[in-house]
Every structure is written in C-alpha cells, then in structure tokens.
Amino acid sequence: MTTQRHGRFSPVQWLRNAPAADYRRFLTAAIRHPGTVGAATPTSNAVANTVARVVPPHGDPVVVELGPGTGSLSVGIRDRLPAAGRHVGIELDESMVRHLRLRLPEMETVHGDARELRSTLPRLGIDNADVIVSSIPWSLLSDEEQRDLLRQCCRNLAPGGAFTAMTYLPMRHSPGGRRFRNHLETSFGEVVTQTTWRSVPPMLHYTCRHPIE
C-alpha cells in the first residue's frame, strides 16, 4: 500500500474552503437517499487529484464516471482529459444530474443507474472505456449487486484500461467493504491501494487493471 502526506492538513480549513452550495446539495441528497449517496459531504480536492492521475493525459481516452454526485471528481478528470477525450458521467440522483449539467457542460451526464452499464454504454456508442472511475457506495451494495456491477465494469474496460473505486478508510473493515475488496481481488489481476489522508475521513483508493475472465 502507498500512503501520501502533503504538508499539514487541517480538517477545519478543509471544511471552510469547500463550496457551501455543494455541501447543501450533497447533504440534501444524502438525507433523502442515504443508501445510495453513502456519504455526508462531497469528495475533497485531495481525493480528486489522486483520482485524476489515472486519466491518460494523451490520445482520445474514454472516461466513464459512476456516481459523479456534485462533480468534485469530475472537475479533476475534466482538467486532465485531453481535448479528444470523452467524459461520461452516470448519476442516479435527478437533482445532482441537473447540477452536473450546469456545472460541467463538457461532461456527458446520463441520468441513469450504473448497474445498467452494459446497456448504457452501447446507447452512447461506446464499446469500451479506458478508465472507469467509481464513487458509488460499494460497501452498501449487496453481494450480488457488487459481483454483477464489477463484472460489467470488467467487460467494458478497454485493453490496458483501469478501474478505480474508493471507500472511506474505516469502511474497509465493514462486511460490505471486505466483500468488495475480495471481489476486486478475484476480478482483477492487479489491485493497487492508496490512501488520501487529506480528507475527512481519509479515503482508500483501489486502482485495478487486467480483468480476469
């Protein structure tokens, strides 16, 4: 496991810097749909920077983001994506979809369910994604939902592509978190973990390559 520490991190400063409107929007969605939002605040910039590194900076990569929420990861992806690249976000929550379409017009925002990836991508004319970024709450999904969605992600990754997901560090010990980790290990030949400490709570990233099938 690789860990990162960059200078001094102040949780209070982090909360002060966060855009208040994004917090309100996120919190409202989290209260309405706790089982699908799975968090109380948007993802931090430090987490977004870590995730964006998986996006190839050259060529015409296709990046598919599952559960972009308020778009805090999407901004980092957009900033790194080459001009010829394509960025698709699949979001379940209607109010987040409206917000994403205004905030990030460059991203193709689909109002839909990530669990229907296999039928959504062909409708967009996409065979395979070079990168699948996921911030949906995997540890809250059932065993069968985790297996099925991971299978779809594996089948829709381009050769050499990367799948990345994240979970709050303490959640890795929950039953759903442990199950997810086990499914990752049996679905991919390579699973690399990294922790972003500049986040409340710290975030554990999984970056996976070489689907096994």
Ligand X SMILES: C[S@@+](CC[C@H](N)C(=O)[O-])C[C@H]1O[C@@H](n2cnc3c(N)ncnc32)[C@H](O)[C@@H]1O
Chain residues binding ligand X by CB under 6 A are 26, 36-39, 42-43, 66-67, 69-70, 72-73, 90-93, 96, 113-115, 135-137
User: Do 23 and 40 touch, CB atoms closer than 8 A?
Assistant: no
If the CB atoms of residues 95 and 189 are measured against ligand X, the closer one turns out to be 95
Provide the H-helix boundaries in the chain: 11-17, 20-32, 34-37, 45-52, 72-80, 94-103, 117-123, 143-155, 175-187
Q: How far is the CB of 203 from ligand X (least distance, A)?
A: 10
Nearer to ligand X, 95 or 190 (CB): 95
* SS3 label, residue 208: strand
CB 41, min distance to ligand X, A: 8
Q: How far is the CB of 166 from ligand X (least distance, A)?
A: 8
Question: Which is closer to ligand X, CB of 17 or CB of 189?
Answer: 17
Least distance (Å) from ligand X to the CB of residue 118?
13
> 84: helix, coil or strand?
coil
What secondary structure letter does DSSP report for 83? T
Q: How many CA atoms lie within 13 A of 164 on its CB side?
A: 27
Contact 133, 65 (CB under 8 A): yes
Task: Report the residue number, 35 or 160, with the smaller CB distance to ligand X.
Answer: 35
* DSSP 8-state class, residue 147: H
| Nearest by Cα to 85 from 131, 143, 32, 152 | 131
Q: Which is nearer to ligand X, 147 or 210 (CB)?
A: 147
Smallest distance from ligand X to CB 127, Å: 20
